[in-house]
Structure 1
Amino acid sequence: MDIAENAALVVVDVQKGFDFPGLGARNNPGADDNIATLVDVWQASGRPVVFVRHDSVSADSPLRPGQEGNDFKDYVEQRRGKGAGDELFLTKTVNSAFYGTPDLDGWLKAREITQVVVAGIQTNLCVETTSRMGGNLGYGVVVAYDATYTFDVEGPFGWRRTADEIGQAAAVSLHGGGFARVVNTADVVVGASAA
């Protein structure tokens, strides 16, 4: 696959609060390692990296500002500021990084970036919403599926779905709906190395 020389890696909500107990079973146990690999590849190649943090406005959320859960996971924090390329840190209070501060769309356009690779947490929420909006805005969106994860969830009518089912449904919706190309981390790394 083709990864542009200036493709931006968008790392969504890789925060400590997602490691707290009570969220239920998760999928993709290797996702954190894959996210770290993508950041390392992007930084080594001088490509731009966007670090997105969710600042929840919910009083009971571990992701609200001032709480330990709002902080980036250590492996992400340790990598911030280490790359040769441009870096953006943005915060958001909703699911899409395109509704964050500063303006992601404006930042990408100012750098003539037309392709984004999305990784992070949660597959079916902020990763999916950011990817859908990116597709709607005309970006070539690639989702590194195994560099994302989510949790078991209960919906209406007592329906329960496992994290695997939820993650796969999000991937099928993104890929099948034409919003993004959903691949694995290894595919992205090979594509980035070939550029």
Structure 2
Amino acid sequence: MHAHHPALIIIDMQQGMASPAAGSRNNPAAEHQIAALLQAWRAADATVVHVRHISRTPGSPFWPGQPGVEFQAALAPLPEEHVVEKNVPDAFIHSGLERWLRVRSISKLVIVGVSTNNSVESSARTAGNLGFATQVVADACFAFAQVDYAGTPRTADEVHAMALVNLHGEYAQVVTAADVIDALSRP
């Protein structure tokens, strides 16, 4: 593995996220972009980390043993790729991820996955606060529609855009898949 390349952190790309029961979402091409990034990282022999949510709530689609907890087949980890299991939105909390990255001298991260305003945003904030040079790939993340605190319905695009602006410049750099694939190919 090449430690000078950033690690690709793929968050919660599990079967339960593809279920219509998950709600109205944006960026239907996110899985395609994540697959393109995964292919580029594998071709570069760069570090890939797959994060999956294991719920502590009985009945959750992410409860152990439920089909929803399994990785989406097209994005499933290879045996040599690291898998991190988490029980809260933030991939760094109680997971050993920070130590795993530091032991390998990895200081740059590219974060993708779901949902932009929950696990992606939470993990990217922590990564930035821990001093990792962090990028979030806008077109390789997606969010779900929500009602905001004031009771106003917000589209998935609005939720996604707000989460990205919360991160950009302070915790992470928001980029596109083409940006990071291009940077990965440069020496």
TM over 0.5: yes
Structure 1 residue 100, shift from structure 2 partner: 4.3
1:40 and 2:39 aligned? yes
Deviates more, 1:148-157 or 1:110-119: 148-157
**CA distance, structure 2, for counterparts of residue 109 and residue 91 of structure 1:** 18
The equivalent of 2:4 in structure 1 is 5
Letter in 2 for 1:111: R
Equivalent in 132, 140, 156 of residue 133 of structure 2: 140
Counterparts of 1:68-83 in structure 2 under 5 Å?
68-77=67-76, 79-81=77-79
Tell me whether 1:89 sits opposite 2:83 in the alignment.
Answer: yes
CA distance in 1 between counterparts of 2:125 and 2:177 reads 19
**Cα pair 2:134 2:172 within 8 Å, conserved:** yes
Give the secondary-structure state (helix, strand or coil) at the position aligned to 1:192: helix
Q: Deviations over 1:22-60 (max 9, x none)?
A: 222111111000001111111111111001010011223
Could you tell me which amino acid in structure 1 is paired with residue 177 of structure 2?
Answer: T
Unmatched runs of 5 consecutive residues or more in structure 1: none
Number of the residue aligned with 1:115: 108
In 1: Cα distance, 2:89 partner to 2:128 partner: 15
The answer as to whether partners of 1:90 and 1:100 remain within 8 angstroms in 2 is: no
C-alpha distance in structure 1 between counterparts of 2:117 and 2:61, whole Å:
19
- Indicate conservation of the 8 Å contact 1:10/1:51, yes or no: yes
Partner of 2:159: 166
Distance of 2:83 and 2:168 partners within structure 1 = 27
Deviation at 1:6, TM superposition (A): 2.8
- Runs (4+) of structure 1 exceeding 3 A deviation are none
Instruction: Give 3-state SS (helix, strand or coil) of 1:56's partner.
Output: coil
In 2: Cα distance, 1:119 partner to 1:23 partner:
18
* Shift of residue 63, structure 1, vs aligned partner: 1.2
Residue 122 of structure 1 deviates from its aligned partner by 0.5
* CA-based RMSD: 1.4
Task: Please name the residue that 1:125 is paired with.
Answer: 118
Partners of 2:49 and 2:185 lie apart in 1 by 19
Distance 1:115 1:34, change over 3 A: same
TM-score by length of 2: 0.94
1:183 is matched with: 175
2:184 aligned residue: 192
Partner of 1:99: 93
Mean alpha-carbon deviation: is it higher for 118-127 or for 19-28? 19-28
Equivalent residues of 1:11, 1:118 under 8 A apart: yes
DSSP-derived class of the 2:21 partner? coil
Residue identity (%) = 40
Q: Is the 8 A contact 1:5 1:192 kept in 2?
A: no
Residues 1:145 and 1:154: Cα distance change in structure 2 (over 3 Å): same
Aligned length: 185
